Chains A and B, each alone.
Chain A
């Protein structure tokens, strides 16, 4: 939104502040100023030429961020900003609107509002004997420098008032418009050729201004072409109305048509402003289309609301701001902002909100605290530590776990990545995810955003492919949320860890390295071989990761076809499941008082015999005295055998074992192993 510094000075007589200071003050107290520009910056050289021709003082344009005006409909015109400037500078506003003429409810022109929900107020006025001509240069200069193209005097007056009072207006050629104006919902199948030359198909959700024959305007957005001002226009009907913000916003966004008018109605315009705009227009027309004659305005006000009065306790406001406030100071602030003030007692006020601040902006005492705060200046508040009860801060055990796992992974050479939460249709198919179990995005921008990821693997796979172009060996991991439809159909989120060890040359040997990492991160876990059951797993190199018999993840080699080159070991852990199974603190075991004895055994078994299987057998035959069973090595015996060596350690709590006892134990185990069909290697 652009504001002319000269215009503001005109509306605030006596304003001495230079434009830079003014812009800073507006930023600190009202809305964010994005810069101060020369008017030519928006309208080109013509502006300067006009200024020279007119011999008027060159202007400066203050550019305010529209986003900082969303809750301030009153600031969408110069008068609203002038009120702020006056309050900031301690001056008063000169209202450009003179006395309001008496309005009739109906006349030659009839106005009907079908449904009060569609239009709070509609004010119209016929003006006869107008003559279409270019506007005077001062008006062209002003419009131009605010980025509005001058068209002709009649249209320019409506735009000028939009910029001045913030009230959108429209001028119809009265000879092309019927005498009965209706505000109604558009009918199904209705359409309108608008002023911009585009044809719009309307729905029952849109509001139109119509005469008996047809719609002549889309309410609050744009006028129709059929009733537009022509060069030969002699009589016009001026419209100044108030339409509901939500309807205008919906129509404007569905029709993809944003106009200066819709932008203002979306914010919630003050219905009190309609007749003021008409009065101002009639007065301007007298100047720039001499001889014009206005009929009395017709005003239909279906929904008049009384601006609220709010109780304000100054002590309470003090506590909110954390700053002392005198009652007088507060009264001055509200008076300078043209609020009504009644003093109920020494520290209690009743504040009457002006109509232009009441549509959306101010309704509760907290809103008044903001008015006080911004006007005294937030810089006048001294930072203060609160007095609070000292108590231990509750811990977030999940975050502590994630932090510990991250530290462990980084120590093992893994780098943390962060991937998107989305996957594509192609991903779902490639990874074998069932679409009916996935959360689906209703409005993706690109195809990669079709579903929410049920696993971090698709992202990790992309990281492997991308990074393999630059690195021969690397390790990476991600901790993040995975999403699925829960049992009852509602979204379920779990935190996963997925880690990968990639090697361009390795032949999957690093799967055991990944097992070491898994046991480092989750010391209680067991790796239990399982056939690779999904498309992403090497069928012969896969296992479950279990804690206390419950599966908490998978350890596997990535299905070799998924990477163009190289292989990868993958570890997936469900960190929520892991968190629930974290081991409890245990009492320590006393140190052994008597020496132990050890011996080694090498068992010859088939190539596919599981080491875990041999360990189980050894434990079974060894009995109670076994203190530890340590795997030493595997020695291949081609073509189809291998030798697996273990160290067994025995001991007793109450004595030293005799040599005889150890020998007998060894013989017992050897016998058992042989009976089970294995040989022993000497």
Chain B
């Protein structure tokens, strides 16, 4: 009869060799079943222990357990190694080239004026200004009379205004919304009114008969020029993404008193003078002022009680400044070679 102890040692040696020789998970499993399985070789050896002396039996039992542990660990290690090499093979076969341009629809583009308008709407909404709309086909009353523009004012001339055959007109500015807003919502109010406006002009690289403006107005008790400057500085710093220095100088617009032209310090040269600012260091940006008391009373409010500021900003002009667009006609061209850039 062979010595079980020797048999365990021999078996362990040969099994370790088979485990490391197994080339696939399937081969390895065969080895595991043959050696470690319930009817495997190690189990067979333990059956021979019955004939042994109790002392020897205990010794052999301990050795068997050690052999089992050794083989199980070798088996697990080999299994890990084989598994990772097999999935590595599979992953390799699944390689793809991620520099290939994707199929499907590429996203479109939002018009640059809309982008600027959205930004300004969000900015003013965050400062408590509501966003309002007004009709593009307006009455002479809202476009001129209510805004304190006298009947003989040059702005009423035929050459500036598109008139409809029924006596309506295309609004020449977004300012009519000032009066409409005050009539509808009363005071206090903070509002902006972006939209399309029209001037009856010949079109060239710097003149358009169709463009976009945003009107802004705050009416409350004791609104001052200081408040106006505050909002303009905040607005323009946000629009241009850096601190903007503004200055006011006298300007005449019938619907404000006092009225201002607002200049910003040239963003190109920082105020030192360059071609963009015509060496002056300043760029004229927007008209503004304190709402004329006649506009307040035309809106049905008491100018003794309520006053405010108003401004008009050219959205088309702002978009042109931002993207250095030198031909205004591109804006209404519908040309995708242009629009796809935004």
Chain A residues positioned under 8 Å from B121 (CB to CB):
396, 399
Q: Say if the beta carbon of B226 comes within 8 Å of chain A.
A: yes
Minimum CB distance partner of A318 in chain B = B224
Q: Are B200 and A445 in contact (CB under 8 A)?
A: yes
Query: Could you count the A-B residue pairs with CB atoms below 8 Å apart for me: how many are there?
Result: 228
Q: Say if the beta carbon of B331 comes within 8 Å of chain A.
A: yes
Q: Given A370-B259, A471-B336, answer yes or no on A441-B113 (Cβ-Cβ < 8 Å).
A: no
Q: Kindly provide the distance from the CB of A310 to the nearest chain B CB, expressed in whole angstroms.
A: 13
Max chain A Cβ within 10 angstroms of own Cβ: one of B161, B166, B336 = B336
Q: Are B224 and A440 in contact (CB under 8 A)?
A: no
Q: Kindly provide the distance from the CB of A109 to the nearest chain B CB, expressed in whole angstroms.
A: 32
Q: Are A406 and B114 in contact (CB under 8 A)?
A: yes
The interface-forming segment of A100-108, A145-153, A412-420, A581-589 is A412-420
Kindly identify, within residues 120 to 134 of chain B, every residue whose CB is under 8 Å from any CB belonging to chain A: 121, 125-126, 128-133
The interface-forming segment of B19-27, B71-79, B90-98, B227-235 is B227-235
Q: Which of A29, A320, A409, A459 sits near B224, CB closer than 8 Å?
A: A320
Q: CA–CA, A477 to B129, complex, Å?
A: 29
Q: Say if the beta carbon of B168 comes within 8 Å of chain A.
A: yes
Minimum CB distance partner of A499 in chain B = B108
Q: Which of B113, B170, B252, B340 sits near A71, CB closer than 8 Å?
A: B252
Chain B residues positioned under 8 Å from A386 (CB to CB):
218, 220, 223, 227, 230
Q: Given A449-B162, A491-B164, answer yes or no on A417-B261 (Cβ-Cβ < 8 Å).
A: no
Max chain B Cβ within 10 angstroms of own Cβ: one of A366, A420, A452 = A366
Max chain B Cβ within 10 angstroms of own Cβ: one of A250, A374, A386 = A386
Q: Are B152 and A249 in contact (CB under 8 A)?
A: yes
Chain A residues positioned under 8 Å from B111 (CB to CB):
416-418
Q: Which of A373, A394, A489 sits near B166, CB closer than 8 Å?
A: A489
Chain B residues positioned under 8 Å from A382 (CB to CB):
226
Q: Say if the beta carbon of A233 comes within 8 Å of chain B.
A: no
Q: CA–CA, A418 to B316, complex, Å?
A: 12
The interface-forming segment of A157-165, A297-305, A460-468 is A460-468
The interface-forming segment of B3-11, B53-61, B242-250, B268-276 is B242-250
Q: A381-B225, A411-B108, A413-B108 are in contact. List 6 more A-B contacts (CB 8 A).
A: A320-B307, A370-B257, A412-B105, A412-B108, A452-B164, A491-B168
Q: Say if the beta carbon of A481 comes within 8 Å of chain B.
A: yes
Q: Kindly provide the distance from the CB of A246 to the nearest chain B CB, expressed in whole angstroms.
A: 4
Q: Say if the beta carbon of A403 comes within 8 Å of chain B.
A: yes
Chain B residues positioned under 8 Å from A419 (CB to CB):
332, 334
Kindly identify, within residues 39 to 69 of chain A, every residue whose CB is under 8 Å from any CB belonging to chain B: 68
Chain A residues positioned under 8 Å from B258 (CB to CB):
366-367, 369-370, 373-374
Minimum CB distance partner of A467 in chain B = B336
Q: Kindly provide the distance from the CB of B229 to the nearest chain A CB, expressed in whole angstroms.
A: 4
Chain B residues positioned under 8 Å from A474 (CB to CB):
336
Q: Which of B118, B166, B250, B334 sits near A417, CB closer than 8 Å?
A: B334
Can you give 14 A-B contacts (C-beta < 8 A)?
A319-B224, A369-B257, A378-B225, A382-B226, A389-B188, A393-B128, A418-B331, A420-B210, A421-B136, A421-B196, A440-B164, A443-B158, A463-B334, A480-B196
Q: Are B162 and A391 in contact (CB under 8 A)?
A: no
Q: Say if the beta carbon of B305 comes within 8 Å of chain A.
A: no
Q: Are A321 and B226 in contact (CB under 8 A)?
A: yes
Number of B residues, CB within 8 Å of A: 79
- Going nearest first, the 8 A-B pairs with the smallest beta carbon separation are A322-B226, A322-B224, A370-B258, A413-B105, A463-B334, A246-B152, A378-B248, A415-B108
Kindly identify, within residues 45 to 70 of chain B, every residue whose CB is under 8 Å from any CB belonging to chain A: none
Q: Are B230 and A384 in contact (CB under 8 A)?
A: yes
Q: Say if the beta carbon of B222 comes within 8 Å of chain A.
A: yes
Q: Say if the beta carbon of B151 comes within 8 Å of chain A.
A: yes
Q: Which of B107, B158, B220, B225 sits near A320, CB closer than 8 Å?
A: B225
Q: Kindly provide the distance from the CB of B209 to the nearest chain A CB, expressed in whole angstroms.
A: 7
Q: Say if the beta carbon of A93 comes within 8 Å of chain B.
A: no
Q: Say if the beta carbon of B324 comes within 8 Å of chain A.
A: no
Q: Are A452 and B137 in contact (CB under 8 A)?
A: yes
Minimum CB distance partner of A33 in chain B = B280
Q: Are B128 and A391 in contact (CB under 8 A)?
A: yes
State the B residues within 8 Å of A (CB): 105-111, 113-114, 118, 121, 125-126, 128-133, 135-137, 151-152, 154, 157-158, 161-166, 168, 170, 188, 190, 196, 198, 200-202, 209-210, 218, 220, 222-227, 229-230, 233, 247-252, 257-261, 290, 292-293, 307, 331-337, 339-340
Q: Kindly provide the distance from the CB of B315 to the nearest chain A CB, expressed in whole angstroms.
A: 11
Minimum CB distance partner of B121 in chain A = A399
Q: Are B248 and A470 in contact (CB under 8 A)?
A: no
Contact with B along A362-398 (1 / 0, CB 8 A): 0010110110011000110111111011110111101
Q: Which of B129, B135, B336 sits near A470, CB closer than 8 Å?
A: B336
Chain B residues positioned under 8 Å from A204 (CB to CB):
none
Chain B residues positioned under 8 Å from A443 (CB to CB):
158, 161-163, 200
Q: CA–CA, A219 to B154, complex, Å?
A: 19
Minimum CB distance partner of B337 in chain A = A470
Q: Are B154 and A70 in contact (CB under 8 A)?
A: yes
Q: Which of B107, B129, B135, B196 sits near A410, CB closer than 8 Å?
A: B107
Minimum CB distance partner of B159 in chain A = A443
Minimum CB distance partner of A475 in chain B = B108
Minimum CB distance partner of A363 in chain B = B257
Q: Kindly provide the distance from the CB of A468 to the nearest chain B CB, expressed in whole angstroms.
A: 10
Chain A residues positioned under 8 Å from B113 (CB to CB):
418
Q: Given A249-B152, A253-B157, A439-B168, answer yes or no on A319-B247 (Cβ-Cβ < 8 Å).
A: no
Q: CA–CA, A28 to B339, complex, Å?
A: 39
Chain B residues positioned under 8 Å from A493 (CB to CB):
135-137
Q: Which of B157, B250, B340 sits near A29, CB closer than 8 Å?
A: B250
Q: Kindly provide the distance from the CB of B173 to the nearest chain A CB, expressed in whole angstroms.
A: 15
Minimum CB distance partner of A70 in chain B = B252
